[in-house]
A = this chain, B = another copy of it.
Amino acid sequence: MSDFTPTPRSRLKRLHQRAHYDVETVHRLINEIGTGTVGYVIDGQPYVTPTLVWLEGEKLYWHGSSASRMLRQVREGIPVCVNVSHLDGLVLARSGLHSSVNYRSVTAYGTAQMVEGAGEKEASLKAFLEHFVPGHWDTLRPIQKQEMKATMIVGMEIEEASAKIRTGHCEDDEEDYALDIWAGVVPVRTVIGEPEDDPRLKAGVPQPDHLKNINLG
């Protein structure tokens, strides 16, 4: 796949040295971060819905059961903007104005489409769970056909996307480096905690090893 060509919609307006339009960076950040928000418009009003996002091949997917307002519109093929971002640190400078944040962010544009059909839907649900908790799907009781109606998955060809990354320390005014003021970066991380057993877990069922491989943040 060729890289994304920025148009006025996706070209970054400020600090373009932080911009990336290559597919590899866009896909890597989406795969790493896993949480996003979906923006859409109904009758001129903007809506933003948080969700989990993942890739299947070059298509972006999200789980829709918590946003039925969006899903009713999606059936008609609405334009959406998906942002996937993670705050990585507070960059504290010697002055307020040079303070900043480190982050990874992708903004992707396209037209949302419902995943229809029990087979396609089950494949997406499996891809979803396998992305976040690799190895987990095959340990579950199989999905029943009628259950598939209760879940909604939305897919989108990424028409355009841009990634933006900031790392490292501040850039203070040269004369400020001599001041007796602390400056540095305070890292912010997503941490996966120790799994907590369901209170009704059947006695003797162990925590599966693959819970160590959760992919988020």
A residues sitting closer than 8 Å to B (CB atoms) are 9, 13-15, 35, 37-41, 44-50, 52, 65-69, 79-83, 85, 87, 89-90, 92-97, 99, 101, 103, 105, 107, 109, 125-126, 129, 132-133, 136-137, 139-141, 143, 147-148, 150-151, 164, 169-170, 172, 176-202, 204-208, 211, 214, 216-217
A82 to B49, CA, bound (A): 9
Please determine whether A15 and B66 come into contact, CB atoms closer than 8 angstroms.
Answer: yes
A141 CB contact (under 8 Å) in B39, B107, B169, B179 = B179
Enumerate 11 A-B pairs (CB-CB under 8 Å) in ascending A order. Answer: A41-B45, A66-B164, A95-B141, A96-B137, A169-B199, A178-B202, A184-B197, A185-B196, A186-B195, A186-B214, A187-B193
Please determine whether A9 and B66 come into contact, CB atoms closer than 8 angstroms.
Answer: no
Q: How far is the CB of A151 from chain B (nearest CB, A)?
A: 6
Q: Which residues of B contact A194 (CB under 8 A)?
A: 187
Question: Residue among A101, A169, A184 with the most chain B CB within 10 A?
Answer: A184
